[in-house]
Amino acid sequence: MVIPRRNRGKFHHQNTEYGESNLGNKLEIFLPDTTESNILILAGIHGDEPESIVFLSEALRSIPPDELKNPVILCANPDGILRGTRANANGVDLNRNFPVENWTDNPVFYRIKSGEPQDIELSTGTEPGSELETKAILKIIDEIKPQSIISFHSALDCIEDPNNTELGQWIASETGIPLVDDVGYPTPGSFGTWAKENSIPLITFEVPLMPLTQMITNYVPTLIQLLRNNHLPV
C-alpha cells in the first residue's frame, strides 16, 4: 500500500539521531523495524545537490513505516544544504574526506555549472575523516552494517557501479540512466573509495540535469521499490 497523497505532507517514520554537524544540526537516519540492513540509501553529502533529498523524501513519505526495509539518510550534510554550499560549514568537501589510502590534503576544485572554469577551491579536511559528518557516517555504518550502499549525486547522468552488480543493473534498467564502472576522473578520499577498501559495494546514483518535478515522476517509483526491498526478482 501507499500513504494517501493528502497525508504525505509530513513524515510518519521515526527518525534516529546518529550524530551532529559542525553547526549542531542533527544528523538523522530513518531505520527499518528489522535489525538487518540490506542497503543504506544516502543523499545530500554535497550541499549544492539537493534534488535527490527531495525525491527520496517523497518516496519515503509515500510508504507506511512498517514497509520500510532499508535505512535512509536523507541529508548527510545539513550545514551545506542550509547554506547552499557544496562543502560543510568548514569548507570541506565531505566526499573527499574519507579515510582511505589515496586521501590527499591537496584542495579539490569544482565549478557551479557547465562551461565555467573549475576553479572553486574546497578543502579535503585537516586529516582523513576529520569532519563530524564523516565520522558520523562511518559510525552508523559500523553499527548497522549494510550489505551495500546507494549514494545520490548530480548531475553526471550515470549509475556508477564498479562491481557491475545485479542491483546496479536493475537501477539502470528501471531509470534508463546509463550504467558505468567509473565516472571518468580521480576521486581521492571519496565515499566510494572508502566503501571499496572496506569491501562494501557502493553504487553512485548520478541524476541527470532535468526539472525536479520530472525527477520525482521518473525516479520515485524506483525508490519506493528500493525502500521496500522489492528491487530484485525472487
Residue 145 contacts residue 35 (beta carbons within 8 Å): no
Could you say which of 49, 131, 133, 206 is catalytic?
A: 206
Separation CA 34–CA 150 (nearest Å): 19
Residue 19 contacts residue 29 (beta carbons within 8 Å): no
CA angle in degrees (0–180, nearest 5) for 137-201-172: 110
To the query of whether residue 160 is one of the catalytic residues in this protein, the response is no
Nearest Cα neighbor of 193 from 179, 205, 182 is: 182
Q: CA quadruple 105, 154, 140, 172: dihedral positive or negative?
A: negative
Nearest Cα neighbor of 184 from 209, 204, 210, 170 is: 204
Q: Which residues participate in catalysis according to the annotation?
A: 206
